[in-house]
Every structure is written in C-alpha cells, then in structure tokens.
A = this chain, B = another copy of it.
C-alpha cells in the first residue's frame, strides 16, 4: 500500500502507481532529476549520481518517461533533452539554445489547426512533435 512507501516525489509515486518498485537507487536518481528545474541530459544525471551504473540511470529515465512524468524533447541538432513534466496535460516546450532552459507552453490554437489538417493528410494522424527554440532573457542579457 502507498502509505508505507509514500514519498514526496511525483516521479517515484508515478512509477509506484504502475507497479514498479521504489528502490534506494531510484530515489537517488529521482532526486537528481528533481534538482534540475531547467531540464537535463541523461549524462548530466549520470554525473550527479556517482556509484550508480549508467545503464540504471538510463533505465530509470526511460521508466519515468514511459509513465509520463518526464518529457523528452530534441535540440535543433536532434540531441535529446529531458525535463520534469509538471503539468500532465498535453503541451510543448520552448528550449533556449544558449543554456538549455526548458519551459512548457500550451497553444490550443495549434492543436486545433493540427486537427483541421487531418483532412488534408494522406492517412490518419497518430501524433505530433513540436519544439520552439529560443534565446532566453538571461542569455540575451549576457550576450552583449
């Protein structure tokens, strides 16, 4: 039952709800992820959890992604970046190409347009991906 294992971590709660185990290793990894408000890469997490195997970090990230508590996005060159999924509802991200800071955004207009496009498309739409690349205020200010 949840009460015995309850944590204040949304990441851990999410995997527990799906029947995965909460282990000390996963606690540590979840902690490192939750300390990354602006997004993170898998290797950054590896660097912050010494003693934990790289494969285990990748397995945990994959798990958190599967249960939809972290978002995976792509930089302009395709390099992956992750961020904690704070909302839950369908959304997209702005990513600063200078510092990597990630912010969520929702644009219902875009979702409606996508729905309307379905008529023009050969086949059935099964999903979409969208990222907006920005230079954030901090990077703009420091680039004088």
A-side residues, CB < 8 A to B, are: 72, 74, 76, 78, 80, 94, 96-97, 103, 105, 107, 109-110, 113-114, 117, 120-137, 139-140
Contacts and interface: CB of A to CB of B under 8 A. Distances in A.
Given A78-B80, A113-B113, A117-B107, A128 B133 contact: yes
Given A74-B74, A76-B129, A131-B128, A136 B114 contact: no
Given A122-B137, A123-B140, A124-B135, A117 B105 contact: yes
How many chain copies?
2
A125 B103 CA distance: 13
Given A94-B121, A136-B122, A109 B105 contact: no
CB-CB nearest 6 A-B residue pairs: A123-B136, A123-B134, A127-B133, A130-B130, A128-B132, A129-B131
A126 B131 contact: no
A72 to B, nearest CB: 8
A124 B134 contact: yes
Contacts of A94: 121-123, 125
